[in-house]
Amino acid sequence: MNRIKTTRVNGEQAVELLMTMRRTLSGCARMLAGMLGAALFLLCPVESFAQPAFPSRTIHVISPFPPGAFNDLASRTIALGLQQELGQTVVVENRPGAGSLIGAEFVARSPADGYTLLMASNPIMAILPHLVSNLSFDPVKDLTPVSNVAAAPKLLFVRAGLPVESVRDVISLAKAQPGKLTYASAGNGTVGHLSGELFKFTAGVDITHVPYKGSAPALNDLMGGRVDLQFSDIVSGGGLINSDKLRLLAVMTARRVPQLPEIPTFTESGLDGFESYLWNGIVTRAGTPKEIVQQLSSAIAASLKRASIAAPMTKLGAQTIGDSPEHFLETITIERALWARVVKATGIKLER
């Protein structure tokens, strides 16, 4: 039978053995604690790590109008400019409908991180809030200005067969035939729509509004003789000025447009103070960090200073801007007050 060999130790040896065991266990505990600490570090939320520099992925510019409109051109111009300035891919998505509300609502519900931008215009930021009582979001509270991109004056076109030669002739014809003349717009709540209502109110005439889904289809029907007038912007309609299917009667500016020196203003035609511009500028989700908003604004301004970027819009008569978020906010505030007065004076309302 095998016996277990034991070794007897005295008191001093026992104490030394106990201390050795405690030191060994203490070392193991420290090693275990270190292992647990490393595991906890790996399980920490992502927010505890340093965020990657903006932008680290694709930026999306939402155009709430169809291809071919001024808004679409401005969107693609800025997408190219931002891509060159920021060194990151920038793509344009067209999300038209409901007078730009569909695309705007998409951005208003997107993350507040600067990766989803809206090419906004007067309607969504300054007009529709006065026209639509049941908006599902608040453009003022849910969207924040980044930079105004460009502005284009509105023009009054008429179909080729309409027996008029001036704005005065249009007023006379409209008064002689109340409600018979029709004017097209890019949609309910657009600047073209409100410009027509302002014209009706200012001139004291009755003409019928015909809304379309975008400026291009409205111009097509104007050239086809299916509507009589259109208050179009110079970018969307400028290429048709020499067409024999329509005629340009006046520009809605305080002074004549350099690209159209022979075309009179509405003031010269007898309607003082009748001015209307369509502007397009970048906004993003409210709550986006200020440093990201400023970075985007600076990149837009820098890109618009380059002729290669600005040329597609300036050649068509638009004025490029590229201002600060603060200045853009001032523009929006002034426009809201202007169109609020027009809506109140005309009494028009829209339901979504």
**Which single residue is written with the structure tokens 């709540």?**
189
Q: What's the pLDDT tens digit per position in 325-349?
A: 999 999 999 999 989 998 998 888 8
Residues linked to residue 40 through DSSP beta bridges, in sequence order = none
How large a percentage of the chain has pLDDT more than 70? 85
Banded pLDDT at 213 (limits 50, 70, 90): confident
Is 100 within 8 Å of 155 (Cβ atoms)?
no
Q: What does the domain layout of the chain look like in residue ranges?
A: 59-151+278-346, 153-251
Name, in order, each residue with C-beta under 8 angstroms of 311's C-beta and a sequence gap of 6 or more: none
The predicted structure's pLDDT at residue 197: 92
The predicted structure's pLDDT at residue 352: 62
Cβ–Cβ contacts within 10 Å for residue 301, how many? 18
Indicate whether 184 pLDDT > 90: yes
What architecture (CATH level 2) is domain 59-151+278-346? 3-Layer(aba) Sandwich (3.40)
Q: What are the CA-CA distances from residue 16 to residues 11, 30, 111, 174, 249 (Å)?
A: 9, 21, 64, 113, 108
The predicted structure's pLDDT at residue 166: 94
Same topology between domain 59-151+278-346 and domain 153-251 = yes
Q: What's the pLDDT tens digit per position in 232-286?
A: 988 888 888 889 999 999 999 888 988 899 999 998 988 887 888 899 999 999 9
Chain-centroid distance, C-alpha 82: 14
* CATH fold for the domain made of 153-251: D-Maltodextrin-Binding Protein; domain 2 (3.40.190)
Q: What is the per-residue burial (b if ≥16 Cβ within 10 Å, else e) of 262-299?
A: ebebbbebebeebbbbbbbbbbbbbebeeebbebbbeb
**Which single residue is written with the structure tokens 């215009």?**
121
